[in-house]
Amino acid sequence: MWPNKFDYVRAGSVDEALSSITDDGKFLAGGHSLLPVMKLRLDAPEQLVDIGRIPELQGISANGGLTIGAAATHDAIASSADVQAMCSALASACGQVGDQGVRNFGTLGGNIAHADPASDPPTVLVACGATVNIQGADGARSVGAEDFFVDLFETALDDGELITSVSLPNCSDCQCAYVKFPHPASRYAIVGVAVCLKMDGGTCAQADVAVGGATVKAVKCAGAEAALAGTTLDDAALNAAAEAVKSDIADWLAGDIAYPESYRQQMAGVFLKRAVAAAQG
């Protein structure tokens, strides 16, 4: 409620943001991940560099694939026709973050930089093969989403680096979905499952699957993908995938007092089936 003292700088450009940030500083965009932890005094950066209004970080563009500015809000993404067309699972996930007030302020860049394991967008970004575009004092680089999320609240970002945008391939020819089992208290995901299915007639040519919420980070699930690929997504395939996904996430499980790891692991299987059904629906 009462954060420690901090300095505040509003940056007008990415260059200005990068040159302003100090060793004990943090970038502030929508503030919906950072400010709550500061109010609880769980984090106490001495400086906030506000990047929320930098023009280069705004907007969503469609050009073969999607490029989403780091400061695009969850609501902007959820209601974007381009995102709905090219990656409907991401629109769905962003539409399930927090409540409307949170979605109006919270940004995709801030969300993934915070890397809350139970947040919704990272799971879709990992499933759909997104790329995180990063700018630092030494230049720009890009990291695949799967490598970007390292561990609990831990990403591949180095000190002083800034996410500028997220790129996604055009998934409009896939069947994709994000299905979430919301925690009754926080509405974060107890488990969230994203699937992206490339169908060849009645057969699944390729399946991409990721799980979040039940895990310390969004996890790509190769076992479940293998169990689905090459099948007609019949009950046997779904059951096999539901079993496989539990193994895929076994090393990364997370839980809390009400919803322990073991339960979340089981629910990943249930919600994988529901995600496949939603994608096909």
Phi first, then psi: give them for residue 93, nearest 5 degrees. -65, -45
Q: Is 247 in the site for other proteins (CB under 8 A)?
A: no
Q: Facing residues of 198 across strands?
A: 206
Q: Yes or no: say if 229 and 197 are a contact pair by the CB < 8 Å rule.
A: no
Of 61 and 186, which has the nearer Cβ to other proteins? 186
Binding residues for other proteins, rule CB under 8 A, total 22
The DSSP annotation for 88-140 comes to: HHHHHHHTTSS-HHHHHH-BHHHHHHHT-TT-SHHHHHHHTT-EEEEEETTEE
**Segment near other proteins (CB under 8 A); pick from 18-26, 53-61, 161-169, 265-273:** 265-273
Cα–Cα distance for residue pair 94/261, rounded to 1 Å: 25
Q: Is 262 in the site for other proteins (CB under 8 A)?
A: yes
Q: Is 42 in the site for other proteins (CB under 8 A)?
A: no
Of 3 and 136, which has the nearer Cβ to other proteins? 3
Of 38 and 57, which has the nearer Cβ to other proteins? 38
Identify the DSSP state of 157: P
Cα–Cα distance for residue pair 129/14, rounded to 1 Å: 25
Q: Is 142 in the site for other proteins (CB under 8 A)?
A: no
Q: State the minimum distance, in angstroms, from the CB of residue 116 to other proteins.
A: 11
Residues 158-197 vs other proteins: string with x where CB under 8 A? -----------------------x--xxx-x---------
Q: Residues 3 to 22: which contact other proteins by CB under 8 A?
A: 3-5
- Residues contacting 85, CB < 8 A, separation 6+: 62, 172
Q: Is 267 in the site for other proteins (CB under 8 A)?
A: yes
Residues at the interface with other proteins (CB under 8 A): 1-5, 40-41, 181, 184-186, 188, 256-260, 262-263, 266-267, 270
